Amino acid sequence: MFISMLIASVFLFHTPAIHSNPLMLSYKQPAHEMVLHRKPKYILGQHYTVDSTGYDACSSGSIMATGVHTYFGAVANNFLPLYTWIKMDRSINGKTIFRVMDRIGSGSQLDVWFPGCTQAISWGRREVGFTVIEYNHK
């Protein structure tokens, strides 16, 4: 009897509890606390050189990942947070400041939204540089 109680107490008190929360990484620290301590992959002022393509409402629809209608000045990117402001190295149709408002399916690292199909096609695929100037402010 004593041995069965000892085995039961070891099992109950020395094994992690089974949680219904799938985000639980360990019985001591939940996942949302772990995320708060991670260093971001991106740094304010960081410069990137990436492949870029143009897109427009004809090719992708008119609502972006943020729920906002498309507009010139919006870009799509997968590695920066939505609402991040970037400054392009060279002006695009007279504009250098853009905002990450959409996500990319695949094929490039930065999609620039254009108001017309011909502008998007003439942009083609090219390498562009940009600098992160502000993060995640709606």
> How many Cβ atoms are within 10 Å of 99's Cβ, its own excluded?
18
User: Quick check: 81 and 65 in contact, CB under 8 A?
Assistant: no
Tens-digit pLDDT profile for the chain (138 aa)? 555 554 444 444 444 444 444 443 444 444 444 444 444 566 789 999 999 999 988 877 789 999 999 999 999 999 999 999 999 999 999 999 999 999 998 888 999 999 999 999 999 999 999 999 988 766
pLDDT of residue 75: 96
Spell out the residues 6+ positions from residue 102 whose beta carbon is closer than 8 angstroms to its own: 64, 65, 66, 70, 74, 75, 76, 77, 111, 113
Q: Mean of the per-residue pLDDT values for the chain?
A: 78
| Ordered structural domains, the chain, with CATH | 2-36 (no CATH), 47-134 (2.40.40.10)
pLDDT at residue number 6? 47
Neighbours of 50 (CB within 10 A): 14
Tell me what pLDDT residue 137 has.
61
Q: Per-residue pLDDT tens for 89-129? A: 999 999 999 999 999 988 889 999 999 999 999 999 999 99
pLDDT of residue 58: 81
